[in-house]
Amino acid sequence: MAGGRPSEVLPGGAGLTSAEAARRLAADGPNRLPAGERSPVLLLLLREMVHFFALLLWAAAGLALLAGMSQLSVAIVVVVLFNGAFAFVQEYRADQASRRLRELIPADVTVRRDGRRTVVRAADLVRGDVVLLEAGDRISADLELAEVHALAVNESTLTGESVPVRHRARDTVFAGTFVVEGQAEAVVTATGDRTRLAAIATLTRTATRPPSPLARRLSKVIKVIAGMALGVGTVFFAVTQVLGMAPADGFLLALGVTVALVPEGLLPTVTLSLARAARLMAGRKALVRHLEAVETLGSATFICTDKTGTLTRNEMTVVEIWTPAGPLDLGSPACAAEIMRSAVLCSTGRLVHADGGHRGVGDPMEVALHALALRAGAGEDAAVTRRHPFDPVRRRSSAVAGGRLHLKGAPDAVLPLCAPAAGASRALADMSERGLRVLAVARRDDPGEGAAEETERGLTLLGLVGLEDPPRADVAEAIATCRRAGIKLAMITGDHPGTARAIAAQVGLLGPDPLVLTGRELPGDDASLGELLDRDGAVIARVTPEDKLRIARALRSRGHVVAMTGDGVNDGPALREADIGIAMGASGTDVAREAADLVLLDDHFATIVTAVELGRATYANIRRFLTYHLTDNVAELTPFLVWALSGGTVPLALSVLQVLALDIGTDLLPALALGAEPANPRTMRGPARTGALLDRRLLRRVFVVLGPAEAAAEMAAFAVVLLLGGWALGATPSPALLGAASGTAFTAVVLGQLANAFACRSETRWAGRLPFAGNRLLLWAVATETVMLMVFLGFPPIAALLGGSFPPPVGWALAALAVPAVVGADAVHKALRARLSAPHPDKGI
């Protein structure tokens, strides 16, 4: 009742009246997925400008401006704005996943209203509408089937199940799926935000992507360096006051030291290194949607992969035929002509010509039957005079053609109708155990008259047909490579557990202690779930979107860096929840691609292995240029420490502007070149490094070996030039002598960094064992660094601004000693470490 009047619903399946539909539309709202609350764009952009690193750089820009270094201040502001805008664009694109779900709702739909067949906008559908479905239609709301005629619905986008589902009256079909065969009339039961598709949209929207391992590690690095810079600046100001310097001058000098030690170039170097790796991945069919995903994939310790279309080709193929006379040789398709002719006659799926090629229309299994029939020369040489479509209760279909009844269906539904055939049960059991989908094909010479139940009896079994969705050719080797790399694997699929187990066994994914479960069998609490699945080679079938979310969370809670693959709408929430979501580019949905961090353009699982290798190489390269940067910081800090510890009796070897020239002018290009170091052949041997970027190994190398060697060469060269010029401890050297000595110290640091760049190419092998031209970008970078050294020292305006001049001949000779000092210290350290830790393999750096 509505307003005391009878509901305006016409009788006899005529559907709603237009007036009642309008009333319900006003009450329930349009049939659209909820958009969800979205933050204003300006607020999203602002967030990228005020995180910790951005705030640190804003402070550095302000301090540089206060210290009178306006050019540096402007450069830092540009870095903040560029990186913030870039991060905003990436994150904004990621948040489009739930909005793309709306595109799965068709624009128009056929309904019966006012007793007439009519087309309305999908957004105008309401509860109670009678919808008319045909093959090719995408379902636009949740529907209850009223009348069904051989209906088959592809529900893979929601369930992951690769085979269309046969439905009967009173079953429910869901928005976002589509009809591949048959016809039906159905009544709308839910629209808009009440549909199953909307529930998945909510999961996708609310699933939060965790901070990447790289983001967490860089945050720690930045905080350590920032704390060090602020601490040194504070101590330095205190020392200036003890030495009697005017507070204003001491404050400006301390500010300069602090600004010089802020890692302005760190984030751009990381970003450009990741961008280069992303370009390499794109060239190898792996499209990176978030730059940090490059390193995250290299850190992956657990890959949860789908089956259909990822490990398999998503193409049903007939691989085996058994007949009462024995197995048929499919290498000679003609021998299968008789059985395939009967199978095709009672099928409607076909392989048709389209756009210069072929495509399947209808049930993929029937398309596969038709494809083999064409190869066997078994065309449809008889017209079908009567057809009994597939029925989910009977689980078989039949057709009368050429004076015969042809029938195919599930073996347990067909074999009881046939005369006994020796070996059929054994053949069926063997095929099923190997994960094949089995159809039984039978025939009767006298078709008879009447209903299906009356005519489908007294049949002769022609044989059993085994079909499979074959694995991709390169999957087995890719899985073996993952195992050598210490990466655990699990198959998570909506498919049948028997099929999933068989495919897992074929490609080598199934572990030595097989675990095959369905979603319903998973433990209820996440702790037990994580403990159960934290193994290599598990198979979980018949999963729901909620199951995939829980699996990702449970594995992450156990310390794993989880990569999750997927291609359907149902995979969107889990792709967002995982540390890295990997979507299929060729066969995947827009929702999956938008939710993912990485898109495989060729859908090949093997492409993941290539991307993992590049990701690991990127992590190694970040450690390389981080080592390079920190070594330079040691050399830059040393003159100030010596000056402070000597109470000012030893002059400053470097000015603040010289330190800035080292950071921005000479160090940036070699650091970027180290970010392009090719992957070591041993990169994919052993587990990934998932610890902190600043671990004891790196810090020991910087602060015990490379940094002190470079600083010692720098200060020794500086002191010798001063002493040879007649300077005595505590005296004030002439400006010319101090300029020459300072230029010598500056040169020693630049040449030491040149040697350091080659030393940083490996953590285990000294520079002499590495191919000199193995990184051509590094050769160009050090050549450019040398030219810039000449400019900084020899171009009078710049030299006067920085406070250094060309070293005397002895100064050049002394500065050049920084090269063997750094390379030699590095070689000795690596040799000692190799002797002490021989059992530990190279981790690929």
Q: Give the sheet arrangement for strand 326-327, strand by strand.
A: 326-327, 317-323, 460-468, 437-444, 404-409, 396-401, 384-391
* Interaxial angle between packed helices 818-836 and 809-816, expressed in degrees from 0 to 180 and rounded to the nearest 10: 10
In angstroms, the CA 264 to CA 71 distance is: 13
Who contacts 424 (Cβ-Cβ below 8 Å, separation ≥6)?
322, 324, 415, 461, 464
Mode of pairing for the β-strands spanning 460-468 and 437-444: antiparallel
In angstroms, the CA 439 to CA 340 distance is: 11
What are the start-end ranges of the H helices in 132-212?
156-159, 196-206
Q: Which two tokens stand for residue 525?
A: 């609490």
772 phi and psi angles, rounded to 5 deg: -60, -40
Q: Indicate the SS3 state at residue 639.
A: helix
In angstroms, the CA 456 to CA 447 distance is: 8
Nearest to 363 by CA among 352, 348, 375: 348
In angstroms, the CA 830 to CA 766 distance is: 7
Cβ atoms of 349 and 369 closer than 8 Å: yes
Who contacts 482 (Cβ-Cβ below 8 Å, separation ≥6)?
303, 489, 608, 609, 612
Who contacts 658 (Cβ-Cβ below 8 Å, separation ≥6)?
742, 746, 802, 803, 804
Longest dimension (CA), the chain: 122
What is the C-alpha R_g of the chain?
35
- The residues annotated as belonging to the active site are 306
Q: Indicate the SS3 state at residue 381.
A: coil
Residue 740: C-alpha distances to residues 359, 529, 654, 772, 821 (Å): 78, 68, 11, 33, 22
Q: Which two tokens stand for residue 373?
A: 């029939």
CB-hemisphere CA count at 13 Å for 743?
29
In angstroms, the CA 297 to CA 287 distance is: 12
In angstroms, the CA 58 to CA 50 distance is: 9
Residue 36: C-alpha distances to residues 98, 417, 576 (Å): 9, 55, 16
Q: What is the DSSP string of 591-644?
A: HHHHH-SEEETT--HHHHHHHHHHHHHHHHHHHHHHHHHHHHHHHHHHHHHHHH
In angstroms, the CA 96 to CA 235 distance is: 49
Q: Which two tokens stand for residue 624?
A: 């390389």
Q: Which two tokens stand for residue 793?
A: 């020292």
Mode of pairing for the β-strands spanning 538-541 and 488-492: parallel
Mode of pairing for the β-strands spanning 598-600 and 580-584: parallel
Q: Indicate the SS3 state at residue 235.
A: helix
Query: Token pair 């100001």 is at which residue?
Result: 237
Q: Please, which residues bridge with residue 5 across strands?
A: 2
Question: Cα–chain-centroid distance for residue 661?
Answer: 38
Q: Indicate the SS3 state at residue 557.
A: helix
Q: Which two tokens stand for residue 578?
A: 């995982």
User: CA geometry: angle at 713 spanning 708 and 718, to 5°?
Assistant: 125
Element (H, E) at 331: none
DSSP state of 705: I
